[in-house]
Structure 1
Amino acid sequence: MRQITQKNHRIDILEGLRGLAALVVFLYHWLLGFFPQFSGLWPDFPKEQAWLGRWGFFFINGSGAVVFFFVLSGFVLSRRVLLTYATETIGEAALKRWPRLAFPTCVACLISWVFFATGAYYYPSAALITHSPWLGGFAGAAGLPSQRLLTDAFMQGLWDTFFSGNAYYDSSMWTMHYEFIASFMIFGTCLLLVVYRNLPQWISVFPVLIITLLCSSVSPWYPPFFLGLLIAFLLPERLKVSKVTRIILASLGLYCLGYFNSDGLRIHGYT
């Protein structure tokens, strides 16, 4: 792998893809909450109404979008280090990672606490209208806050959601646990690749694959981060792709985003 000194490693198209993935997640949650019969996740609704397997399912495949976010995160966290060999950036990124993630989670938890404290949540009543098990369970949250203390909400946003995975004030924060833990695994793997940068790429890939396999035994949500790292490691800095290749890759990506099986689509808390 060649040492590259270019300072600007931003890939603008990834920002657009990030926005599209966020829109997919929003549409998916909207579907689960207000049109659960189309999700194909619950046996109480006729299977013929489900959108699973139909054209355009990738537009509401929230789980697939989350996987994309994790791949993108692994890519972004490792790309600069693997291009410049600047190991000091690993320490800087590690120190910033917790505050950068904790600020939005604290805000979300505190806002949710205000809604609980003032009785402004009406999800049980809304679930009776939409017949959504997901909405009735506070958006798939694994439990609800028992004491609903301000300090409990603050500590969940600051600490608990990252180290314990609890997200009962805002169920969408379950991804933060994996983002946080995987970040440091990515940093450590990047350091390993930089130390042994003089080895051929095909040899360096093997320890990454072993680490990925070990992490997959803990949770299936960790491998996407390492896929992003491998892309960052193997992808040349300057890569010219023809229009035909772009169309093929885009079509393949959409197919994977719309993939499903007879057991349903895996999402957090449901299968």
Structure 2
Amino acid sequence: MKNERLTWIDGLRGLACILIFTHHFLVSFFPSSYNGDPNTSRMIYGLDVKWANSPLSFIICGNFWVSVFCLVSGLVLGYQIYRAKTTNEVSSMVLKRYPRLCFPLTVVSFAAWIMMQFSLFPTAEVQKLSTSSWIVSAYGDKPSFLQFLNTTFVATWLNGDHTYSPAFWLMNIFLSGSFLAYLLALMTKNRKLLSILVFICFIAFFLYTDALFNFAFTLGVALAYRIFYFEPKKYAKYFGVLFVLVGLYLGGYPSEAYPQGFYLWLGVNVNQRYAPVWQFFHIVGALFLVWGIYCLKPLCTLFSTKLFRFLGKISYAVFLIHCPVIFSWSCFLFLKLYRACGRYMISAAASFLTSTILLILLSTLFQKYVEAPLGNLIKKLDHWLFLSE
């Protein structure tokens, strides 16, 4: 059994958040890179349309990296339970999960609420140029302070209300998936045959009910079980390369564009009784990618370097802040530049570059001066509660 921290997981999570930001930026300014519609193409030679059906589209496929994030979260949370030596450690993890997610989000939501009161999101003007329907999907109202409180502390976590960031629809999935991961890890901790039966039953249930993000969390915990209780086989590195390639290939399956070329044989992207086929492919692709990285020591070493560990450290801040940055600064600068030069590509590229720098800077400050102090406060409260008992 192992007790070391999986530092490479932090690096992978950080990369996933940066690529989710990239995806949302492109959906805002180059929607054809997502939907493959030539009528909304904004790149020369229709490169955005071609990209939508290219195997390289995994780089900017937001749903794939969300799947990676969910699976990795299940892996990390499950691994923490397997490492825990006392029941106090386990109960502390469970009790702290909601405030750890909610308190930093509250700060970002409040900032967005203030900006909404002063109409600081110029998305309507950008939408006329980019034709992206997603860019006008948020920040159009001016909610009251009571609505802000209800949304931030209740609605976001119960039904995925995304008033203060289009990315917040995932927060109820993150919260419920966290408790699911804790439950699965506790049910399978220090068990053998029962663990296999538990994982099979939960996987079958979530596939049958189309709860595919819960399916992703379950796969993450199952992988944590595999990593914690079993040493990697000597021949694992040979499968690692194949697993990574399969994962990236499935991760590039188009979410909205009609599958063509390399993906046509996998099936047609249609919404019928079951969840979209692309979501299933992305989750399975995430499993292959994470498992493949684990099998390849060079990749584990790469994702454990200072750069990726830094990205992992600020990953939650990046996730919380990136949409308000895109809908405010990115749109503002793009409009300024486009009015000055009339060049769409140049304006969007400059906006993306500066937005990336600003996002990393704000996320670093947010992690240091908001997220870390709040985390320390939660630890002190948790310690006080245990002492009072």
Q: When the two structures are superposed, what TM-score results if normalisation uses the length of structure 1?
A: 0.82
Aligned residue for 2:74? Answer: 74
Structure 1 residue 248 displacement after superposition: 2.4
Out of 252, 263, 267, the position equivalent to 2:269 is 263
- For 2:64, the aligned partner's letter is G
Aligned residue for 2:116? Answer: 116
Give, in whole Å, the separation in 1 of the partners of 2:73 and 2:23. Answer: 21
Out of 4, 11, 15, the position equivalent to 2:10 is 15
Out of 206, 220, 233, the position equivalent to 2:212 is 220
Identify if the C-alpha distance between structure 1 residues 173 and 70 changes in structure 2 by more than 3 Å, giving closer, same or farther: same
1:1-271 matches, cutoff 5 A: 4=1, 8-40=3-35, 45=40, 49-84=49-84, 86-138=86-138, 145=141, 148-194=143-189, 197-198=190-191, 200-201=192-193, 203-216=194-207, 217=209, 219-235=211-227, 236=229, 238-239=231-232, 243-260=237-254, 261=259, 262-263=268-269
- For 1:234, the aligned partner's letter is R
Query: Which segment is superposed worse, 171-180 or 75-84?
Result: 75-84
The answer on whether the counterparts of 1:21 and 1:69 sit within 8 Å (CA) in structure 2 is yes
Structure 1 residue 38 displacement after superposition: 2.0
Identify if the C-alpha distance between structure 1 residues 237 and 89 changes in structure 2 by more than 3 Å, giving closer, same or farther: farther
Query: Which segment is superposed worse, 79-88 or 106-115?
Result: 79-88
Structure 1 residue 162 displacement after superposition: 0.6
Q: Give the 3-state SS of the residue equivalent to 1:148 in structure 2.
A: coil
The answer on whether the counterparts of 1:102 and 1:158 sit within 8 Å (CA) in structure 2 is yes
Identical columns (%): 23
Q: Give the 3-state SS of the residue equivalent to 1:222 in structure 2.
A: helix
The answer on whether the counterparts of 2:40 and 2:130 sit within 8 Å (CA) in structure 1 is no
Aligned residue for 2:377? Answer: none
What value does the CA root-mean-square deviation take over the aligned residues? 2.7
The answer on whether the counterparts of 1:21 and 1:65 sit within 8 Å (CA) in structure 2 is yes
Give, in whole Å, the separation in 1 of the partners of 2:143 and 2:84. Answer: 47
Aligned residue for 2:332? Answer: none
The C-alpha deviation readout for 1:161-198, integer Å capped at 9, x for no partner, is 0112211221111111001011112222222223xx34
- 5+ residue gaps, structure 2: 260-267, 271-275, 280-389
Give, in whole Å, the separation in 1 of the partners of 2:112 and 2:50. Answer: 31
Aligned residue for 2:343? Answer: none
The answer on whether the counterparts of 1:40 and 1:50 sit within 8 Å (CA) in structure 2 is no
Structure with the higher helix share, 1 or 2? 2
Identify if the C-alpha distance between structure 1 residues 41 and 148 changes in structure 2 by more than 3 Å, giving closer, same or farther: farther
The answer on whether the counterparts of 2:29 and 2:130 sit within 8 Å (CA) in structure 1 is yes
Q: How many residues align?
A: 253
- 5+ residue gaps, structure 1: none
Identify if the C-alpha distance between structure 1 residues 103 and 42 changes in structure 2 by more than 3 Å, giving closer, same or farther: farther
Aligned residue for 2:306? Answer: none
Give, in whole Å, the separation in 1 of the partners of 2:233 and 2:205. Answer: 34
